[in-house]
Amino acid sequence: MKRIIIGTAGHIDHGKTTLIKALTGVDTDRLKEEKERGITIDIGFADLAIGDLHIGFVDVPGHEKFVKNMLAGAHGIDLVMLVVAADESVMPQTREHFDICRLLEVKAGLVVITKTDLVDEDFLQLVEAEVTDFVAGSFLEDAAVVRVSSRTGEGVEALKKELARLAVKLADRDDKAIARLPIDRVFSVKGFGTVVTGTLISGVIRAGDELELLPSNNRRARARGLQVHSRATTVARAGERTAVNLQGIEVSEIERGQALAPAGKLLSSSIFDVRLHLLKTSPKPLRNRSQVHLHTGTAEITARVVIFGHGELAPGTSGYAQMRLKSPALVLPGDHFIIRSISPVVTIGGGLVLEALANKHRLREAAQVIENLEKLAAVDFAERVARFIEMAGARGMSRAEITARSGLPDEAIDRIGEQMVKAQQVVIASRNPLLLVAKPSFEGLAKSLRSMLKDFHRASPLASGMGREEVRERIFAHLPPEVFRAVISYLVDREEIVAEKELLRLSGHEVALSSEEQAAKEHLAALYEQTALQPISLEDAIARSMPQFGIDIQRAKRFAQMLISSGELVRVSDLIFHRSVLESLRKSLARFKLENGSRIDVAQFKDLTGVSRKYAIPLLEYLDRQRVTRRVGDAREIL
Ligand SMILES: Nc1nc2c(ncn2[C@@H]2O[C@H](COP(=O)(O)OP(=O)(O)OP(=O)(O)O)[C@@H](O)[C@H]2O)c(=O)[nH]1
Ligand SMILES: [Mg+2]
C-alpha cells in the first residue's frame, strides 16, 4: 500500500475546499466561522483510497491573512494541486502559494482548473494558456492541467486517475530516519485525553513509544494510541497523516509548531545555518540582520537573518545565512523553511537548513563559514556527517551529537562510521560511547604531542619523560578524555612513544648522561644493592655518596627517578630496594616453601630475611601485591 499526502494551493474562493469534497465527500471546513463566512481559515483534512493508494489531503486557506496556516499544511506534502478558478485565472495567492511550493521544493503536482462550468471553451483556453505560462520553468512545467467542475462533477474522475498516476512515480518517504511529527492540531477527546495530529515527515511511531515534545523543557509523553488516516493502528509511518493519543500531558502544554520525536534523540535549536533564496518578487533587498517571520514545519517564529559574506541579498539571488530565532524550533539539515517580511506580511523567500545546531560565527570567519556551508550544501547525507565531524575538529563528535545534527538512526550512523574509518576519514576515539574524530585533526594532535615531547627531551635531557597530566593540560585541556587516551594509544601502538606509568617519552629517547653522571647513577644503584633488605633512605643515600661526584641533590634525585623508571630500583611503600635484592628474596621464599611448606608467618619471615618488623611488614605487603604471597589470617601462603 502506498500512502501519500496531497495539498491544495491557490487563491481564495477558487474552489479548493469544494474540490476536496468532490474527491472525497468530506467537507474539510470544520470551524463555525468557516461555515459562516464561506471561507477556509485553517487547514483541513480528508482522505481517499484509490485501489492500493491511500491519499491524505491537506486543504489550505487561500485568504492572504491565513497564509501562515497554509504554511503549516504545506510543509509536509508530497504533491500539490494548484487550484485556479476558470473565471478568475492566476491571482495574488496563486502566485504566493506557488512560490511557497517552489521554495519548499515540493517535488511534483498538477494544475486543476476549477469552476469550468462558469466559462466557455474559448475563455478556458485563454486561462489554460495563462496557467501554462505561469508554471513555465518550474517543477510543474510539464505537469498535467486538469479541468474540473465540482458543481457538475465533470473531470473529477480524470483528476483521480491523474493523481494516482503521479503517486506511483513518487519515491517513498524515509521511514528509516528518526521520527518527526510537526504538530498541526491539538485537542482533547472524551475518554482518551490529549490528541495531537500532524503529517509524519520521517521515521516510524509505534503505540507505546516514549516521545518528546520539541521544543519544550524535556517534556515527554507516551503514545497511548495511534490513528492513521482516521483509523486506529499500532504503527504510523513517514508520509502518513497521524494522530497520537498522548499519555501524561495536558492539551494546554502543547501548541501547533512543536514537534514530536523519540525521547532523548533530537535537540531544538535557535541558531541554524542555511542556504537562503530571496524571491525575485521581493519588494526590496534583504538587509543583513533584518527581522523576518520564519516558518518551518508547523512553526512560525520571529528570526533575525545574518547574511554571510555580503551586506544584503538582492531579489532573485541566493546566499548563505544564519537564522537566529527568538525561540527555538526543531530543524534538521535538509529541512526547508519560508521567510515572510514583517511588514507588509508577504512571502519573500525561503531556503534549506544546512547545519541545524550552529554557533554564532564571527565576522572574520565568514569566508571559512561559507566554504563549510558550500560543502554541506553539495553533498549527500553520509558525506554531510563526515563534514560535521571534520568541522568539529579535534573535539570529535559523539554518537548523540551526530544523531541530533543529522536525524539519522543508530544503524545508519554506525554504517557511515565504518565507511569513514575504511576511507581513512575518521578515527574512532572511543567505541562505547561512540566518539569519532576526523583523521586530519587526530593526526594534528598526534603531531603536537610528538613535537612537544621532542622539545621536552631537548630541554630536559635528564628527565625520562613528561608527565601525562602536563601533556593533557597543554594539548588536550578542552578535549574529551577519550581523545587524549586514543591519541596516546595510537602513538604507543605505532611504537612512536612509550608510556611508562605516569610518564610519556619518545621511543628513541634515552637519557644522555656524562661519564661522571653515569658513574654517580651506577654508584647509587650499587649502594642499594649493598644495603640489601635494610635500605637507607634516599636522602641518606644521596648525602652519603653524591658529594664525591660533585653532584647536587636535585640531580641525584633525578638519577634515582631514572633508576626507578627503568625498574632497576623498586619503591616499596617509602623504602627503596634494588631489583636484584627483591629477586633473591623471591628465590629464598621458593626455597623456604620447598623445605617447610607454603605457610610462613611474620616471625619466620623475619628469621628468613634477617629484617626487623619495620621492613618485614611493607615487604610482605609488597609480595602480596606481586602475588608472590597471599595473606591468610596472620600468616602468608607462598604461591
Ligand atoms: N460554479 C461553481 N462553483 C464552485 C465550484 N467550485 C467551488 N465553487 C464555489 O466557489 C465558492 C468558493 O469555493 P471554496 O471551495 O470554498 O473555495 P476555496 O478555494 O476553498 O476558498 P478558501 O478556502 O477560502 O481559499 C463556493 O461558493 C463554491 O460553491 C465549481 O466547480 N463550480
Ligand atoms: Mg477552502
Taking CA atoms, 197 is separated from 6, 75, 339, in Å, by: 16, 14, 24
User: Which of 18, 41, 115 for mutating ligand 1's site (highest number of atoms within 8 Å of CB)?
Assistant: 18
The pLDDT mean for the chain works out to 92
pLDDT for the residue numbered 365 = 84
Contacts of 42 (CB under 8 A, 6+ apart): 30, 31, 34, 61, 66, 69
CB 245 near ligand 1, within 6 Å: no
Cα separation, 254 vs 490, in Å, equals 50
pLDDT for the residue numbered 549 = 75
Contact 93, 12 (CB under 8 A): yes
Q: What are phi and psi of 356, to 5 degrees?
A: -80, -30
Taking CA atoms, 120 is separated from 13, 37, 86, 110, in Å, by: 20, 29, 9, 22
Q: Ligand 2 center to residue 98 CA distance, Å?
A: 16
Share of the chain above pLDDT 90, in %: 71
Residue 379: strand, helix, or coil: coil
Q: Ligand 1 center to residue 15 CA distance, Å?
A: 3
- Write out pLDDT tens, residues 573-584: 888 999 999 999
DSSP assignments along 162-230, one per residue: HHHHHHHHSPPP-SSSPPBEEEEEEEEETTTEEEEEEE--BSEEETT-EEEEESSSS-EEEEEEEEETT
Query: Residue 462: is its pLDDT beyond 90?
Result: no
CB 117 near ligand 1, within 6 Å: yes
Categorize the per-residue pLDDT at 329 as very low, low, confident or very high, splitting at 50, 70 and 90.
very high
Find how far residue 60's CA is from the centre of its chain: 34
Contact 350, 277 (CB under 8 A): yes
Cα separation, 420 vs 426, in Å, equals 6
pLDDT for the residue numbered 280 = 95
Positive/negative CA dihedral, 328, 330, 333, 339: negative
pLDDT for the residue numbered 261 = 97
- Write out pLDDT tens, residues 212-232: 999 999 999 999 999 998 889
> What atom of ligand 1 comes closest to residue 18's alpha carbon?
15
Q: Ligand 2 center to residue 42 CA distance, Å?
A: 9
Share of the chain above pLDDT 70, in %: 100
DSSP E strands, 51-180:
53-59, 79-85, 108-114, 145-147
pLDDT for the residue numbered 553 = 78
Contact 182, 259 (CB under 8 A): yes
pLDDT for the residue numbered 501 = 77
Categorize the per-residue pLDDT at 543 as very low, low, confident or very high, splitting at 50, 70 and 90.
confident
Query: Residue 340: is its pLDDT beyond 90?
Result: yes
What does the block give as the cell for 315? 531579489
CB 40 near ligand 1, within 6 Å: yes
User: Which of 8, 11, 12, 13 for mutating ligand 1's site (highest number of atoms within 8 Å of CB)?
Assistant: 13
User: Which of 12, 17, 26 for mutating ligand 1's site (highest number of atoms within 8 Å of CB)?
Assistant: 17
Residues with C-beta atoms within 5 A of ion ligand 2 = 16-17, 40
Query: Whose C-alpha lies nearest to ligand 1, atom 29?
Result: 18
- Write out pLDDT tens, residues 102-150: 999 999 999 999 999 999 999 999 999 999 999 999 999 999 999 999 9
Query: Residue 458: is its pLDDT beyond 90?
Result: no
Cα separation, 132 vs 17, in Å, equals 23
Q: Ligand 2 center to residue 204 CA distance, Å?
A: 31
Dihedral of the CA atoms 587, 593, 594, 597 (nearest 10)?
180
pLDDT for the residue numbered 233 = 96
pLDDT for the residue numbered 219 = 94
Query: Whose C-alpha lies nearest to ligand 1, atom 30?
Result: 115
What does the block give as the cell for 296? 518551518
Cα separation, 73 vs 40, in Å, equals 13
Positive/negative CA dihedral, 289, 291, 292, 294: positive
Query: Residue 343: is its pLDDT beyond 80?
Result: yes
Query: Whose C-alpha lies nearest to ligand 1, atom 7?
Result: 15
pLDDT for the residue numbered 556 = 81
- Write out pLDDT tens, residues 59-108: 999 999 999 999 999 998 999 999 999 999 999 999 999 999 999 999 99
Taking CA atoms, 222 is separated from 186, 227, 249, 262, 315, in Å, by: 15, 14, 9, 10, 46
Span of 74-88, 434-448, 541-555 with lowest mean pLDDT: 541-555
pLDDT for the residue numbered 542 = 83
Question: In this predicted model, which residue has the larger pLDDT, 554 or 7?
Answer: 7
Q: Ligand 2 center to residue 27 CA distance, Å?
A: 9
Query: Residue 477: is its pLDDT beyond 90?
Result: no
pLDDT for the residue numbered 253 = 95
> What atom of ligand 1 comes closest to residue 39's alpha carbon?
24
- Write out pLDDT tens, residues 276-313: 999 999 999 999 999 999 999 999 999 999 999 878 99
CB 16 near ligand 1, within 6 Å: yes
Cα separation, 253 vs 135, in Å, equals 42
> What atom of ligand 1 comes closest to residue 62's alpha carbon?
25
pTM for the full predicted model:
0.78
pLDDT for the residue numbered 510 = 75
Find how far residue 303's CA is from the centre of its chain: 23
Contacts of 580 (CB under 8 A, 6+ apart): 529
pLDDT for the residue numbered 508 = 80
CB 242 near ligand 1, within 6 Å: no
CB 464 near ligand 1, within 6 Å: no
Query: Whose C-alpha lies nearest to ligand 1, atom 10?
Result: 15
Positive/negative CA dihedral, 70, 75, 76, 80: positive
| Environment class of 450 (CB within 10 Å of its CB; exposed 0-12, middle 13-18, buried 19+) | middle
pLDDT for the residue numbered 22 = 97
User: Can you name the residues that pair with 631 across neighbouring β-strands?
Assistant: 636
Q: Ligand 2 center to residue 57 CA distance, Å?
A: 12
Mean pLDDT of 615-629: 91
Q: What are phi and psi of 615, to 5 degrees?
A: -95, -30
Amino acid at 577: F
> What atom of ligand 1 comes closest to residue 116's alpha carbon?
31
- Write out pLDDT tens, residues 230-283: 889 999 999 999 999 999 899 999 999 999 999 999 999 999 999 999 999 999
Mean pLDDT of 407-422: 90
CB 62 near ligand 1, within 6 Å: yes
Contacts of 497 (CB under 8 A, 6+ apart): 449, 450, 453, 488, 491, 504, 505, 506, 507
pLDDT for the residue numbered 349 = 97
Contact 16, 28 (CB under 8 A): no
Contacts of 67 (CB under 8 A, 6+ apart): 93, 96, 97, 100, 340, 345, 347
Contact 503, 467 (CB under 8 A): yes
Q: Ligand 1 center to residue 128 CA distance, Å?
A: 19
> What atom of ligand 1 comes closest to residue 12's alpha carbon?
25
Query: Residue 519: is its pLDDT beyond 90?
Result: no
> What atom of ligand 1 comes closest to residue 114's alpha carbon?
31
pLDDT for the residue numbered 593 = 93
Nearest CA among 417, 420, 390 for reference residue 403 = 417
pLDDT for the residue numbered 524 = 86
Question: In this predicted model, which residue has the larger pLDDT, 393 or 310?
Answer: 393
Contact 255, 297 (CB under 8 A): no
Categorize the per-residue pLDDT at 502 as very low, low, confident or very high, splitting at 50, 70 and 90.
confident
| Rg over CA atoms, the chain | 37
Q: Ligand 2 center to residue 404 CA distance, Å?
A: 38
CB-based contacts of 224-233 (< 8 A; 24+ apart in sequence): 224/192, 224/193, 225/192, 228/3, 229/3, 229/47, 229/54, 229/56, 230/47, 233/207
Taking CA atoms, 371 is separated from 405, 452, 602, in Å, by: 19, 32, 74
CB 21 near ligand 1, within 6 Å: no
pLDDT for the residue numbered 89 = 97
Cα separation, 510 vs 566, in Å, equals 11
Query: Whose C-alpha lies nearest to ligand 1, atom 12?
Result: 13
pLDDT for the residue numbered 488 = 94
